[in-house]
Amino acid sequence: MRLGIHMPLKGGFVPNTARAKEIGCEAIQIFAGNPTGWTMGKIEAREMEKRLAALKEHDLRPLVVHSAYLINLASTNEDFYEKSRQLLAATMGRAALYRSPYVVLHTGNHGGRGVTQGITRIIETIDADRGKWPPGVMLLLENTAGSGTALGSRLEELAEILHAFPDGSLGICIDTAHAWGAGYDLGSAAATERFLEQVHKLIGLEHLHMLHLNDSKAALGSRVDRHDHIGRGAIGLECFRVLLNQKWPAEMPLILETPEIGTDWDRQNLETLRKLSAGRFH
């Protein structure tokens, strides 16, 4: 496993990679553009070369791209739906330029049409569009806290989309704070082990390519998504101790998305994780 943070855009990509390395990151996640906008902005070829060189110099791998929050492949609004497809395709293209193996996507909101129809629409959309995506970039569906009509808070929902593509072209990213918000107890070592068993049973651990390690300011099952520093929130340390001591693949990214990203909190949260991994970290 490789530990890292969600790297802020502010401050510039290349300087931020140096900082990420300095505080002990081995992997990073970024937004490809404005996470709350429909446009991504251009990156000149020379700038991309510099970024790739910085990633190599600081041995930050993998770089994972988190897609914009606006993307909703289950949208009932046709304009939103088409924009979502275009922005996801552009994000996959941008990830390929970064030589990123993964793009993380929130599965979307059914907007009142219901879970079953929402999931069907997502599957149909991915099936129709994935031929246009660049090879070598896998789409990872991230679990959600389940607020409003958000899809993907139940492992069963993620599993249904995942298993609609038996060629293994999709994967899953589990976010601890979202799982907690959705009602999955991670408040003790035993509960976390039980959660992992459920993930394995419904999804298959071989399809779990990434973890977002976040404590939560919200209550279990509240459907609220509010991240907290590791060990300071309602989840507590034991969940992270269990997750950090699994036999994950050597290249699997475990990424922090804790509050006040870009401040010294990043270093502190990374240090906490490293301590919990009790020397198994490599």
Tell me which residues touch Zn ion (CB under 5 A).
Answer: 142, 175, 212, 257
Cβ at position 67, least distance to Zn ion in Å: 8
- Alpha-carbon span 13 to 152, nearest angstrom: 31
Alpha carbons within 13 A on the beta-carbon side of 270: 22
Of 175 and 215, CB closest to Zn ion: 175
Cβ at position 83, least distance to Zn ion in Å: 19
**DSSP state, residue 264:** T
Alpha helices in the chain (DSSP H): 13-22, 45-57, 78-97, 115-129, 155-163, 176-181, 189-202, 237-244, 265-276
Cβ at position 72, least distance to Zn ion in Å: 13
Of 142 and 266, CB closest to Zn ion: 142
Of 54 and 142, CB closest to Zn ion: 142
Of 54 and 172, CB closest to Zn ion: 172
Cβ at position 53, least distance to Zn ion in Å: 28
Cβ at position 66, least distance to Zn ion in Å: 6
93's tokens: 């293209």
Of 80 and 102, CB closest to Zn ion: 102
Helix, strand, coil shares, percent, the chain, to 5: 40, 15, 45
Place of tokens 């071989």: 206
